Amino acid sequence: MASMASGMVRKKKWNNTNSSNKSYSLKPYNAMASTATPPLSKYKWRISIAVAVLLLFLVIGVSTIPSNVWNFSRSIAPSVNIYSIEIVNEFPHDPTAFTQGLLYGGNDTLFESTGLNGQSSVRKVALRTGKVEAIHQMPYSLFGEGLTLIGERLYQVTWMETTGFIYDRYNLSKVGMFTHQMEDGWGLTTDGKVMYGSDGTSTLYQMDLETLKVIKNNTVKYKGQEVFNLNELEYVNGEIWANVWQTDCIARISQRDGTVLSWILLPKLRKGLLAAGNNRIDVLNGIAWDKDNNRLFVTGKLWPKMFEIKLQSSKVEESSDKMIKNLCIRPKFEF
């Protein structure tokens, strides 16, 4: 998505949303009265019956508790992971690239879609050097957004439009166009069976690979609260990962129902770049997954570096829930 810092972005507005103590005196046992029944013994059978009846009632009571009560009790404090990151490698990245879409194409090659009117492009980039090996420049009127690869074709959406473009992956020549049913074009990814898309809302779309028509959509939620501003997407091991625009957060989303399964927090990357004097950088945006080598790459708009990272997990605590909502949840932007 476009940046609030960019002059090309339109003005935004927010949409908002007693126990009692008893003493007993025991009489001394009369050893001479050997035929007498000890005081407790004469009641043992009554005590046994009472205990048995009590246990029976407990078993019956537990078995009749509705299943939804048990489900509720188990879901009062669901476990959600929060991940920080470890930087494995740093690679050069074009600091003029306003990164909107990113994916790994194999053989240490990345495909990238960039934005801003007059600067939008689709490009093939060498991972280790950051060199742009091939580029397709887009007309001034178009603002490039999300990008995904299906077979030999790259699919790209554009901002404030329902029009997308198809490119040959080898020479980046434009080979077609398509229209989509999302409100806008922000992010794209695929699991090889369907295409997933985002439009800056809390909706995660699923589209047929042949017709590109929406076949299903889910509202993305974290503990019942909608997660708006879903941006660049990546499919990773059965989950959809999404940058949340204007945050340093990546949401890991269930492709089945849109539930946020966990969060990745990456503020250390942007803070590190700023501390090194990179004052022109914009927000985190760009996720690429190398499934064959289990490598994860991230970057941002106008970032001079591409980072290979690993996740470090810690269990969420009650106090962390507020932290996530402060860092990662934003009202929906309107343009």
Domain-embedded: residue 112: yes
Domain-embedded: residue 108: yes
Residues 133 and 204 in one domain: yes
CATH code for the domain in which residue 205 is found: 2.120.10.30
What is the block-wise mean pLDDT of the chain (335 residues), using blocks of 10 residues?
A: 47 36 34 40 50 50 42 43 95 98 98 98 98 98 98 97 97 97 97 98 97 97 96 98 98 97 96 97 98 98 98 70 91 87
**Predicted pLDDT at 13:** 34
**Predicted pLDDT at 40:** 43
Residues 164 and 49 in one domain: no
Residues 97 and 214 in one domain: yes
Torsion over CA: 16, 189, 255, 108 (sign): negative
Residues 63 and 134 in one domain: no
Domain-embedded: residue 228: yes
**Cross-strand pairs, 13:** 334
Residues 272 and 328 in one domain: yes
Last residue of a domain, one of 22, 57, 75: 75
Residues 154 and 71 in one domain: no
Residues 71 and 151 in one domain: no
Domain-embedded: residue 70: yes
State which residues form the domain around 278: 81-334
Residues 230 and 294 in one domain: yes
Domain-embedded: residue 2: no
Residues 103 and 46 in one domain: no
Residues 70 and 129 in one domain: no
Domain-embedded: residue 268: yes
Residues 69 and 88 in one domain: no
Domain-embedded: residue 301: yes
90: tokens are 């740093």
**Predicted pLDDT at 81:** 87
Q: Name the domain count of the chain.
A: 2
Residues 107 and 199 in one domain: yes
User: Contact 201/185 with Cβ under 8 angstroms?
Assistant: no
If you ran DSSP here, which 8-state letter would residue 18 be given?
-
Closest CA to 2 of 92, 100, 68: 100
Residue 89, CA atoms < 13 Å, CB-side half-sphere: 10
CA angle 269, 227, 12 (to 5 degrees): 80
Last residue of a domain, one of 51, 75, 99: 75
Domain-embedded: residue 23: no
**Predicted pLDDT at 319:** 59
Task: Provide the residue type at 15 as one letter.
Answer: N
Last residue of a domain, one of 19, 51, 75: 75
